[in-house]
Amino acid sequence: MTTYSQWNTDRILDIGRNALYFEDYVLSIQYFNQVIKIKPYLAEPYMYRAMAKIQLGDDKGAEIDASEAIDRNPFLPQAYYIRGFARRRISNYSDAVSDFSKAIEFSPNSLNLLLNRMDALLKLEKFDDAMSDLDTYMKLSAKNNAMLYEKGFILLQMKDTLGAEKAFNQFIQSDSTNTLGWSARALLYMQKQNLKDAYNDYSQAIKLKSNYVGDYINRGIINVQRKNYRQALTDYDQAIKIDKKSDLAYYNRGLLRANLGDNNNALSDLNKVLELDTANIEARFRKAMLENTVGQYRNAIADYKIILARYPYFIPAYSGLADAEDGLGNKKEAYRYRLRAYEIEKDKDNIKRKSKDIIKTDNKLATNVQKGSSNKKTEMFNRFATQNMDDSQSESKYKDETRGNVQDNYADVINESNFYLSYYAKPDQIKRTNLYQPMVEDYNKLNILNSNLKITNKEIPLTSDLINLHFEAINNISSKISENETDANLYFKRSLEFSLVQDFNSAIEDLNKTLSMNQNFALAYFSRANIRYKLVEYMKSTAAENAINSNENNIDLNKRLSTENKNKFEVEMIMRDYDKVIELQPNFAFAYYNKANILCTQKDYRTAISNFSKAIECDADFAEAYFNRGLTYIFIGQDNLGLADLSKAGELGIYQSYNLMQRFRN
């Protein structure tokens, strides 16, 4: 990056923020390092580097950088938010609260800041303060009914079961399709021994496809009490299917199997519990009892001795040891252990004062209330720190899975992304979209570029080694251009390198030169349109970030209007470039597709559908075009056409379609 050190630091900082916005965190850090090296007194590069470090999981490094930013400029609310977020992640909750409070002074209406402070306060068990933040949040966002769940959760922590039940009732009334409310109220009923209503609520949560292991464990416990053993086993089986590391599910299933005489499978479950939690004494005691039952006396002896090392006055362990030694024919050892049990029993009143050797081997209840969607947002770092999160935004409940009942995997209602030219792409063995394009392949055959170009909508961030490689490539190509300034291919080649390191302005400058020399270069028009659109996205995000906390005056208003007008002009230029690609290459499906996506953002849905259709005419297996056209049809109320397109997209490999079809049909 030696060439870049000669540049204006504002430009380097801007490129770094570009990389940060497009989630190229390793690359962004390199840019911020350069600015810090040149101007170490600036606060912003430390702040943005802290953001990137959080995204990479370096919370301690982020805390240090945010502190450096605050030392240089104590009036940066984002820096306090970043440091608070990092401190909360490393369990420094008190200092996190202080940082969030400072950020709230600058931005008192920030929902995101309130949520984060509330979460930190809950960790400190400062429930009254957390409830105060929640009340403020609900006043600022009155339509966000999800906060009723959070209210119930806090009231539960405060042991106010009546208040919690009322909040959960209100939440269920506001959103009866959300499993969280049914699950939380069921646990409340269960703790109050109201098993009938608890069973009904758990059943409703499960009917709504709950993915919370505790719902199945607890309904299983109720089924055991009702003597519905087959159904209880089914519930425990499902709990383990959801979470193969749930020691609670294995423990309860092990107890049930033991009670039903299925000793070997019960032992298998209890062994799994101890594999997951070696300190689980209750499981070890039940395991030792079963080992005696099935004649595994040596294993039983080993387990009882582990128990006695922790609970030296636990009489049943001595009795169990005696039975095991009897089983091995060691009558003398058996007598010794029975004598010890007798001595402890005889002196039990004195021993009681010194120890509490009581081991309960009952069913274990899943007592955790799930985190609500609002609470989960505090786990996600918002790059533009004090910007309020959209209350309607929800996170995917399930991890992406391409096997089994994929229709149950929650999918976000969002268009598939634009396609770009790149040297790198994530492989996808499922989709049938034809990524082989004669125009691209013909250009690759010229062997002008450093690597073969690919078309992808799954770009990948670069590693440190690749980043350095591309900076070297920029320097090498620049040297060649200085010797031959009329070679359009050299400028195109360098534009690709600039785009990979997120320097979009330089990439566009090179593409402008390319096209001034070769006005029929379709790939250059396509690339320029794509990069211009990335810049528009970035400019919009920057404008939103700059608007935070500012009381808009006339100068701010004029600046915002100027930015909006510039974005409109840029979108018009983008459309012209795509149209030029289509003029030169009428069968290039990706130009129609990208154009349609942008038209959707402009709310010109009819024209977008027409362009998606053109893309499908060019490639009958264009999965992403079917998917996006389907969503667009549904958005304008033409559900039947939309569902047909989603069905086709699913057939072509976009498995998220099946979940959306299931939801939109209801």
**Stretch 47-75: mean pLDDT, rounded?**
92
Phi, psi of 354 (to 5 degrees): -100, -20
**Stretch 574-590: mean pLDDT, rounded?**
95
Overall residue count recorded for the chain in this entry: 666
The dihedral formed by the CA atoms of 102, 107, 109 and 115, expressed in degrees to the nearest 10: -50
> Exposed e or buried b for every residue in 135-152, given b needs 16+ CB within 10 A?
ebbbeebeebbbbbbbbb
Which one-letter DSSP state was computed for residue 421? E
pTM (whole model) above 0.75: no
**What's the structural domain count of the chain?**
1
Per-residue H/E/C for 291-317: HHHHCCHHHHHHHHHHHHHHCCCCHHH
Grade residue 167 by pLDDT with cuts at 50, 70 and 90: very high
- Does residue 609 lie within any of the structural domains? yes
Helix (H, G, I), strand (E, B) or coil at 107: coil
- Does residue 210 lie within any of the structural domains? no
**pLDDT score, position 359:** 77
Contact indicator for 189, 197 with CB cutoff of 8 Å: yes
**pLDDT score, position 547:** 52
Which range has highest mean pLDDT (312-316, 508-512, 644-648)? 508-512
- How far apart CA 303 and CA 154 sit, in angstroms, is 40
- Does residue 80 lie within any of the structural domains? no
Cβ-based burial of 421 (10 A; exposed 0-12, middle 13-18, buried ≥19)? buried
**Stretch 352-360: mean pLDDT, rounded?**
63
Distances (CA, A) of 525 to 138, 330, 399, 495: 49, 89, 38, 12
Grade residue 584 by pLDDT with cuts at 50, 70 and 90: very high
The DSSP annotation for 171-227 comes to HHHH-TT-HHHHHHHHHHHHHTT-HHHHHHHHHHHHHTT---HHHHHHHHHHHHHTT
| Element containing residue 420 per DSSP (H, E) | strand 420-422
**Stretch 343-362: mean pLDDT, rounded?**
71
- Does residue 108 lie within any of the structural domains? no
Amino acid at 479: S
- How far apart CA 219 and CA 242 sit, in angstroms, is 15
Percent of the chain with pLDDT over 70: 86
- How far apart CA 111 and CA 377 sit, in angstroms, is 11
Torsion over CA: 29, 31, 32, 33 (sign): positive
- Does residue 513 lie within any of the structural domains? yes
pLDDT of 543 strictly over 70: no
- Does residue 126 lie within any of the structural domains? no
The structure tokens 């309020």 sit at 388
Torsion over CA: 257, 262, 264, 265 (sign): negative
**Stretch 635-646: mean pLDDT, rounded?**
89
**Stretch 297-311: mean pLDDT, rounded?**
94
pLDDT of 406 strictly over 90: no
Which one-letter DSSP state was computed for residue 410? -
pLDDT of 70 strictly over 80: yes
**pLDDT score, position 172:** 93
Which range has highest mean pLDDT (19-33, 290-304, 352-366)? 290-304
What six digits make up the tokens of 356?
């509490």
Distances (CA, A) of 474 to 63, 109, 424, 444: 34, 45, 17, 19
Please, what is the average pLDDT of the chain?
86
Q: 494 or 541, which is more confident?
A: 494
**Strand locations in 224-350, DSSP E?**
none
Q: Domain range holding 456?
A: 439-665
What six digits make up the tokens of 146?
């999800």
**Strand locations in 298-456, DSSP E?**
420-422, 454-456
**pLDDT score, position 367:** 79
Contact indicator for 423, 451 with CB cutoff of 8 Å: yes
- How far apart CA 134 and CA 592 sit, in angstroms, is 47
Grade residue 352 by pLDDT with cuts at 50, 70 and 90: low
- Does residue 449 lie within any of the structural domains? yes
Helix (H, G, I), strand (E, B) or coil at 455: strand
| Element containing residue 456 per DSSP (H, E) | strand 454-456
**Stretch 567-590: mean pLDDT, rounded?**
92
Grade residue 458 by pLDDT with cuts at 50, 70 and 90: confident
- Does residue 524 lie within any of the structural domains? yes
pLDDT of 372 strictly over 80: no
**pLDDT score, position 357:** 62
Helix%, strand%, coil% for the chain, nearest 5? 70, 0, 30
**pLDDT score, position 554:** 46
**pLDDT score, position 624:** 93
**Stretch 95-115: mean pLDDT, rounded?**
93
- How far apart CA 117 and CA 522 sit, in angstroms, is 52
The structure tokens 């119930």 sit at 152
Grade residue 569 by pLDDT with cuts at 50, 70 and 90: confident
Q: 586 or 362, which is more confident?
A: 586
- How far apart CA 116 and CA 113 sit, in angstroms, is 5
What six digits make up the tokens of 551?
């009381």
Torsion over CA: 168, 174, 176, 179 (sign): negative
Grade residue 651 by pLDDT with cuts at 50, 70 and 90: confident
Grade residue 650 by pLDDT with cuts at 50, 70 and 90: confident
Q: 663 or 655, which is more confident?
A: 655
CA within 13 Å, CB half, 539: 21
**pLDDT score, position 581:** 96
Among 82-86, 273-277, 400-404, the least confident range: 400-404
**pLDDT score, position 391:** 39
- How far apart CA 335 and CA 330 sit, in angstroms, is 9
Q: What is the largest CA-CA distance in the chain?
A: 103
**pLDDT score, position 92:** 96
Contact indicator for 581, 591 with CB cutoff of 8 Å: yes
**Stretch 393-398: mean pLDDT, rounded?**
36
Q: Which residues pair with 422 in a beta bridge?
A: 454
- How far apart CA 556 and CA 139 sit, in angstroms, is 28
**pLDDT score, position 413:** 65
Domain containing residue 470: CATH number = 1.25.40.10
Cβ neighbours of residue 569 closer than 8 Å, sequence gap 6 or more = none
